[in-house]
Chains A and B, each alone.
Chain A
Amino acid sequence: MYLSDRRRILVPPLSRRLTYVDERPLSPSPASKKALSKLDSAHKIYLRTSLLPDATGSAYIEHQQSKILALVNGPRSQKGSFSPTAKLVVDVKFLPFSSDAHVLGIQQGGGYTTSLERTLADFIYASLVPSIRLGQYPKSGISVSIVVISGPPVWNGLVKQIGASCVTAASVAVVDAGIEVFDIVTACAVKFRMGAEEQTEIDLDERGFDQNCADYGNKMNIGESAGASQPQSIGRGVVSYMASRDEISGFWIDDESQERTVGEATSSMEGASLIQVLKIACDGAKEVRKLVNAVLSQVFHNCEDASVQAAKKIKIAE
């Protein structure tokens, strides 16, 4: 063919990728019973898509105290240097008084991005990038904007809960936009005691820290001796997970202990306990994925019904 792309070297037109097939059967990992019993109450989520007709795709999610809106625009033409894949841009905005972040001075009403927003955006970017088929959209840009309408107190280290809801909402919004993806990403926040990771559970705290810790703090203030409940080091994390591909795309974990005495030996995390944390979080993310699947199925059926009704109307008009 004489019309060839002379600017770059392309593969031969009829080439196919060499593929290997793993014939071994996959052994499904059994979800732990204890975690599942809590999952039922853990995931009371409200999820809705296609809220804003102006955006290419949008999703709104409510979970615990988080109320998050995700918008997707694109793919749009992108000026600048050539890029064979789409560029993903994520930005996060906290509305004023959406959380307690204004107390910390890390959230302003103004136009510039704060460090907390940037950290969240980076995590969401990392979680989404492996899921989107960016190669399908050369020379284009896809922008994901996330608005945190309300959230749990960031002061007390509950930012992971916001992160989890943001990732789920963003991925659903990308699907709503019709952008091709490898899989939907869902995320789940977990908390655990440092040094005793078998007590890992899905993070459902509403006030941050642990209730015991807060009580302990109050007692200290009024001069009582520390009771039986010692403040324990608490870690919190969030894991982004692609359930169909069984792939973790994002992982963010922090030690969120309230106080630490100088010189105290900090408990470190063993590899086995980290795996335990990941497992619980992935199980949680799988449950979220079931909800997402149910919602998307419903969306599809509603769309089909709408198009059937529209066709009927046209027939009647004729």
Chain B
Amino acid sequence: MSSSAGSTPVTSRPGTPARSKDNPSSASDLPTHAIPGQPLCSAREYAPGPGTYFDEHAVVGGGGAIVASVLGAVVVSKPTPSTAKSSLRKDDEKKAAAADPRPRVSVVRPTANGGGTMGAVPDVDDVVLVRVLRINPRMANVAILVVGENNSATDEYGGIIRAQDVRETEKDKVKMQDCFRPGDIIRAQVISLGDGTNYYLSTARNDLGVVFAISEASGAPMYPLDWRSMRCPVSGTIEQRKCARPTS
């Protein structure tokens, strides 16, 4: 830990304003960075994004305010998010974002913080990377490794892929042992917070399924042939898997 990691001996400074007033770059009156609890702007002009929340009682111009909930830089994004990953997000959210003409305000934590990094908590509609722990005819038990682009918490969250959630068609003919094997890495989507122990996941989409699997014959990583078979480059054997469509 270096001294730049955030050490500031501070004695009494009664004159320090609670809000930062410096805004050199942004055209609007938004502050450049925010401290949790700091009202950023009126909710009439902006929509709350990640790292912020809407507080109807806070007063900035009226109509409630958007308040920061983490320490970080204030970022304004355009009302219609044209992110390439928007196809991974749920349709409803896209609609909501498109219907909302207000620009979105979010607070982003600086990456080089001195403390440890916080693991992400999976939420409904998140796309996650999981490792298969064990399978049985009705479901596969998995461990969630990565949520979105963040590593999961140090201790893993558990998940279940039920046989009826493996693919979209012929759900009743799914054979779990022909779809997944223990040790496979799978891209899946969270469909429910599930019970106390497990999240419920689904691979019923073309871009979801096995992304990495080891050949039983040679131990080499296999490549996908089509959506339900993978080939080992060493031994040439073909194994059954529910593959994710490869992405560039």
Contact = CB atoms under 8 A, between A and B. Distances in A.
B7 A41 contact: no
A301 B91 CA distance: 37
Nearest to A136: B121
A89 to B, nearest CB: 15
The SS class assigned to the B binding surface is: loop
Interface in B64-94: 64, 67, 69-73, 90-92
A310 B111 CA distance: 11
A50 B114 contact: yes
A310 B204 CA distance: 42
A293 B113 contact: no
B70 A175 contact: yes
B215 to A, nearest CB: 31
Nearest to B34: A300
Given A20-B56, A75-B119, A290 B18 contact: yes
A197 interface: no
Interface string B16-52: 1010100000000000010111110000000000010
B238 interface: no
Interface stretch (A113-121, A227-235, A242-250): A242-250
Contacts of A176: 71, 113, 115
B71 to A, nearest CB: 5
B8 A295 contact: yes
A178 interface: yes
B123 interface: yes
A190 to B, nearest CB: 17
Nearest to B115: A50
A293 B191 CA distance: 39
What's the interface size class on A, roughly? 35 or more
What's the interface size class on B, roughly? 35 or more
Contacts of A77: 153, 155-158
A296 B36 CA distance: 9
A309 to B, nearest CB: 9
Nearest to A310: B112
A48 B154 contact: no
A54 interface: yes
Contact of B8 (A3, A19, A299): A299
Contact of A48 (B2, B8, B53, B158): B8
B63 A138 contact: no
Given A14-B96, A23-B62, A245 B154 contact: no
B111 A7 contact: no
B50 to A, nearest CB: 9
Contacts of B153: 74-77, 140
A244 B60 CA distance: 12
A76 B121 CA distance: 8
Contacts of B110: 300, 303-304, 307
Interface in A10-43: 13-14, 19-23, 26, 36, 39-43
Nearest to A19: B56
Nearest to A132: B69
Given A75-B118, A182-B69, A184-B36, A50 B113 contact: yes
Contact of A295 (B10, B33, B58): B10
Interface in A163-207: 175-184
A14 B6 contact: no
B118 A178 contact: yes
B124 interface: yes
Contacts of B16: 290-291, 293-294
Given A20-B56, A57-B115, A75-B119, A293 B35 contact: yes
A36 B15 CA distance: 12
Interface string B193-225: 111110110101000000000000000000000
B9 interface: yes
Contact of B197 (A23, A79, A177): A79
B63 A40 contact: no
B13 interface: yes
Q: Which 5 A-B pairs have the closest CB atoms?
A: A50-B114, A183-B37, A244-B37, A299-B6, A303-B110
22 contacts: A5-B200, A21-B56, A26-B59, A44-B11, A45-B10, A48-B7, A49-B115, A50-B5, A50-B115, A56-B117, A74-B118, A76-B119, A77-B155, A133-B53, A137-B121, A178-B115, A182-B36, A182-B69, A290-B14, A294-B8, A300-B110, A306-B5
